Amino acid sequence: MFPQSDFPALSQKFKNKPPIYLDNACMSLKPQQVINKVIEYYSQYPSCHGRTTHKFGLRTTEEFDAARIKAKKFLNAKSPAEIIFTKNATEALNLVSQSITLEAEESVITSGLEHNSNLLPWQELAKRTKAYHLIWECDEKGNLDLNILSDLLKRHKVKLVSLFHKSNLTGAVLPVKEISELVHNAGAWLVVDAAQSALSVNIDVQEMNCDFLALSSHKMLGPTGVGLLYGKLNFLERLPSFLVGGETVIDTEYHSMTKANLPDRFEAGLQNYAGVIGMGAAIDYIEKYGREKINSYIKNISRKAFEKLSKIDKISLIGDPEGGILTFSIRGMSSQEAARFLDESENIMVRAGKMCVHSFFNHFKHPEMLRISLAPYNNEAEINIANSAIEKIVKFFV
């Protein structure tokens, strides 16, 4: 769907063969349009936002503000003030967890399938406040049942629920709108970790009715080192600042300060201007195709990859066949070794390990697995090469 010629990393050759990049859940590749925008910042107006009145500063302010407006539209937020730029999704989730407090009898819920970045901030919050941390348990294939969440919400005094939108292990997408009704009816807040959905699933924060949402630019074609936190205006207004310093205030005395308005209040110090502006270019690139078309493309190639993979002997495969994330193990072979073989023989780059969802692997005593994760620049030919290489592994090594 996306032309591979837009992605310079794919034009390289290793042992005369192109790379087959199937590790998109970890990091997406960057189109030339995004790279150009980053270079443009550094080569034409490498300056600060907001505080300067010269030409370079004005251009930085204009481009930085434009990127925030693009992000606002991308998520259908009500106001650009609801978009706080951060280092990544992890920092965005920590911004919430570090800023709120829970009473001793209150609880926070996460699912049994969360990435460490959406587990540890809440573990720490529970420890700090002596609140409870409850797990919405999944089965051994990572399936979650809404009735179990509903029951937890009925039985406990829950203050906050934080869940993935799309799982980085199974590719499953949670019905956030339905969940937000359950969570809000119980008087709790909903935080959504949209790190995996940002590129391929439509995100409308007003329709989802989530209170906070976090994502990373680097998983949606943008530069590394940038992410964002969306927060409903009335929530952000009540949230204490996590980091303070330059940009977060409009005036200071030796022993006091006057805080800046949103969103500056949460963006301490000079920002990653090149990264944010590059993320704006990534949003433009995605919008040119539209997430509905991207989603159906991913579903289609995912289904084909899933079907092929599930036919190979000795493969145990989990996940949503249409999720674009295929996590599997090869019985009798170490996942790390298999990943090394795929890279060395055919330049096929996949992930091996516990995919930062150690808690799920440890709970069910699953062995480490391999993960193929698809992006809209992947195609069927690449899937066929990967499939044949995996068949070869099974035939010769197991």
| Catalytic center residues | 356
228: phi then psi, degrees, rounded to nearest 5: -150, 155
Nearest CB to ligand PLP, comparing residues 100 and 195: 195
Residue written as token pair 């170490």? 334
Q: Which residues of 361-389 are buried (b: 16+ CB within 10 A; e: fewer)?
A: beeeebeebbbbbbbbbbeeebbebbbeb
First to last CA, the chain: 35
Least gap, CB of 390 to ligand PLP (angstroms)? 23
- SS3 state at 247: coil
* Segment 215 to 234, residues that bind ligand PLP, using CB under 6 A: 216, 227
Among 69-77, 84-92, 279-287, 312-320, which window interacts with ligand PLP (CB under 6 A)?
84-92
Q: What are the angstrom distances between the C-alpha of 48 and each of 41, 165, 246, 269, 272?
A: 11, 34, 12, 10, 10
Of residues 30, 37, 70, 115, which one binds ligand PLP by CB under 6 A? 115
The DSSP code sequence of 147-178 is HHHHHHHHHS-EEEEEEESB-TTT--B--HHH
Cβ neighbourhood burial of 79 (10 Å; 0-12, 13-18, 19+): middle
Closest distance to ligand PLP from the beta carbon of 169 (Å): 8
Tell me, residue by residue from 5 to 44, as one string, x for binding to ligand PLP by CB under 6 A and - for no binding.
--------------------xx------------------
Give Dmax (Cα) for the chain.
72
Which one of residues 2, 41, 64, 164 is an interface residue with ligand PLP (CB under 6 A)? 164
CA-to-CA dists, residue 340 to 64, 347, 389, angstroms: 41, 9, 12
Tell me whether residue 168 or residue 327 sits nearer to ligand PLP (CB atom).
168
Tokens of 22: 């199937």
Residue 168 interacting with ligand PLP (CB under 6 A): yes
229: three-class secondary structure by DSSP = strand
| Cβ distance to ligand PLP smaller for residue 90 or 110 | 90
Restricted to residues 179-218, the positions that interact with ligand PLP (CB under 6 A) are: 193, 195-196, 216
User: Any contact of residue 110 with ligand PLP (CB under 6 A)?
Assistant: no
- Among 24, 28, 61, 88, interactor with ligand PLP by CB under 6 A: 88
User: Shortest Cβ distance from residue 241 to ligand PLP (Å)?
Assistant: 20
Contact 8, 35 (CB under 8 A): yes
Looking at beta carbons only, is 304 or 358 nearer to ligand PLP? 358
Considering only 94, 118, 248, 302, the residue that binds ligand PLP (CB under 6 A) is 118
User: Binding of ligand PLP at residue 359 (CB under 6 A)?
Assistant: no
Interface residues with ligand PLP (CB under 6 A) are 25-26, 88-90, 115, 117-118, 164, 168, 193, 195-196, 216, 227, 356
